[in-house]
Amino acid sequence: MTNMPFGFGSQDPDDSDKGDSSQGRSEGGSGNPGDNPFGFAGMPGPGGNFDMGQLGQMLSQLGQALSQSGSGGGGQSGPVNYDLAKQLAVQQLHNNQRTERPSQEQVKAIEDAVRLAELWLDASTSLPAGVRSVQTWSSVDWVEKTLPVWQRLCDPIAQRMSAAWLEALPEEAKQAAGPLLNMLGQMGGMTFGSQLGSGLAQLGGDVLTSTEVGLPLGPSGTAALLPANIDRFVEGLDRPTSEATLFLAAREAAHHRLFGHVPWLAQRLLATVEEYARGIHIDTSALEDLAGKVDPSNPAAMQEMMSSGMLEPKTTPEQQAALTRLETLLALVEGWVDVVVADALGERLPSADALGELIRRRRASGGPAEQTFATLIGLELRPRRMRDAANLWRLMAERHGTEARDQVWDHPDLLPDSTDLDEPLDFADRWGSNSDLDDPIAAIRRAEEAEKSDDTTESQSSDSTEGEKPNGPDDEGPEGPKNTEGPNGDTQS
């Protein structure tokens, strides 16, 4: 883990010389987060001008968040204060002038682009259309519409981090803290919320579609594009915005075909993130070492120690396995979308190849949005092997056709793993040699039934073996006592 979840480390140490949040970063950031650790807009940093109005606004926000936490209302029903996160995200987007509302022309252009993309995608995949509605979002819309999924992603990690800290505390410290632990939980929820709000503001100012990060963040069946961010994306590309919009609409529609008609996929992606969160563990020895070095009279030294990585959760083997599965699944999703969109647009859109390469580099290298995502949930959702996955999907289509390629998504057990990405030819050959190619789900069911049948047979055989006992000379069989011959040749019972 190179990025700490929920503000346990600095977000962007390279921006220490940028203190004016009104200018912001080109990706929609909020200035220097180190000067404003809780994300309250207008809070003066070191050496800045002191403004009583800004201070009053910050204290008002803090008081409102504390009153909501104390009364059990607001967004603090769990480990993260989501009301605070939403408020800060929207406020930072306004400060950075990233709240442009889409025009009627942009709304119509996006609707037409999605409609045309769906028509072209029909020839390149056997999966039917998954888009039921088309929406045009601003950055603020993106924050509001995706927050429910962010809650599902962040809750397990924030809860596990809080629990790990409590588990690491000695019993004496827990008893001495008493009611303070409750207040610390509320403050932790505010801290997590402020970190989430800052991250969502940066992401909202950068993302192009609702599915760009590879997860179904928006409402099911809703294709959404952000035209203001697309305009910034095409700056310097020497290509018309209409071509980029059509290309991104095709990618969005392809994602929805996959998420809409592979019912287990979205659940598997989100569950793998949750599985990663359950493995978070705090090194108690590092906590004890920190306790011996803390100087309560030196807050600067304490902050430096907290951000030094001393308390960074260690990646366990279980977490590493979950991360590998997640990266492989993301690569398979992005690789499939890449191949399907390229087949649909390749001969129709002149800039399709160039835009495809640009998107691949954007996802593989990890832009500001990817870095913020890593800070939010503690891991990088980056399809590192997207090109390998695309090669495998293209090979499957060439060997067996698009319908057989898309049948791989019928069941999670049919999907390639990381070793198959190393040897795509072997995977394609195994698929081709399968006698149940026309109905792979039936093959899986037959295998499961055969396994159950074998288990039942073994169980019955084991029971019958235990029930049979060797008959000795004194044993009575089912027909009564056996006759034996006496010493004089007489028959005795």
pLDDT at residue 487 is higher than 70: no
Q: Give Cβ neighbours of residue 153 (< 8 Å, ≥ 6 apart).
A: 215, 270, 273, 376, 377
pLDDT of 243 reads: 95
Give the C-alpha separation, 119 to 345, whole Å. 11
Give the H/E segment covering residue 327. Answer: helix 317-345
Q: Collapsing DSSP states into helix, strand and coil, what is residue 485?
A: strand
Query: Would you say how long the chain is, in residues?
Result: 493
pLDDT at residue 46 is higher than 50: no
Q: Give Cβ neighbours of residue 40 (< 8 Å, ≥ 6 apart).
A: 57, 58, 61, 62, 88, 194
* Of the candidate ranges 223-232, 294-303, 421-430, the one whose mean pLDDT is the lowest: 294-303
List, for residues 288-321, the tens digit of each pLDDT value.
566 556 555 666 665 565 555 555 566 778 888 8
DSSP string, 184-205: HHHHHHHHHHHHHHHHHHHHHT
Give the H/E segment covering residue 183. Answer: helix 180-204
- Mean pLDDT along residues 139-149: 94
Q: What percent of the chain has pLDDT over 70?
A: 57
* Of the candidate ranges 24-33, 288-297, 415-424, the one whose mean pLDDT is the lowest: 24-33
Q: What is the DSSP letter of 22?
A: T
pLDDT of 179 reads: 67
pLDDT of 236 reads: 79
pLDDT at residue 112 is higher than 60: yes
- Mean pLDDT along residues 129-143: 96
- Listed by start position, the domains of the chain span 5-288+311-377
Half-sphere exposure of 430 (CA within 13 A, CB side): 12
Give the C-alpha separation, 309 to 344, whole Å. 47
pLDDT at residue 159 is higher than 50: yes
Structure tokens at 96: 């950075």
pLDDT at residue 259 is higher than 80: yes
Give the C-alpha separation, 44 to 32, whole Å. 11
pLDDT at residue 65 is higher than 60: no
* Of the candidate ranges 49-58, 205-214, 227-236, the one whose mean pLDDT is the lowest: 49-58
pLDDT of 292 reads: 59
Q: Give Cβ neighbours of residue 106 (< 8 Å, ≥ 6 apart).
A: 136, 227
Q: Give Cβ neighbours of residue 362 (< 8 Å, ≥ 6 apart).
A: none
pLDDT of 99 reads: 87
pLDDT at residue 42 is higher than 60: no
pLDDT of 465 reads: 53
Tokens 């002149």, located at residue = 350
Q: Where are the alpha helices (DSSP H) in 96-207?
A: 104-121, 139-168, 171-177, 180-204
pLDDT of 416 reads: 95
State in Å, rounded, how far the first CA of the chain is from the last one.
81
Q: Give Cβ neighbours of residue 27 (< 8 Å, ≥ 6 apart).
A: 202, 205, 206, 367, 368, 369
Phi, psi of 97 (to 5 degrees): 55, 45
pLDDT of 39 reads: 41
Structure-model confidence comparison of residues 304 and 488, the more confident one: 304
The rounded mean pLDDT for the chain is 75
CB 91 within 8 A of CB 22: no
pLDDT of 38 reads: 40
pLDDT of 320 reads: 83
Give the H/E segment covering residue 477. Answer: strand 476-477
* Of the candidate ranges 31-40, 283-292, 419-428, the one whose mean pLDDT is the lowest: 31-40
Which of 259, 269, 390, 389 lies closest to 323 in space, CA to CA? 269
Q: Collapsing DSSP states into helix, strand and coil, what is residue 88?
A: helix
List, for residues 272-297, the tens digit of each pLDDT value.
877 887 777 666 566 556 655 655 56
pLDDT at residue 435 is higher than 80: no
pLDDT of 118 reads: 97
- Mean pLDDT along residues 147-169: 78
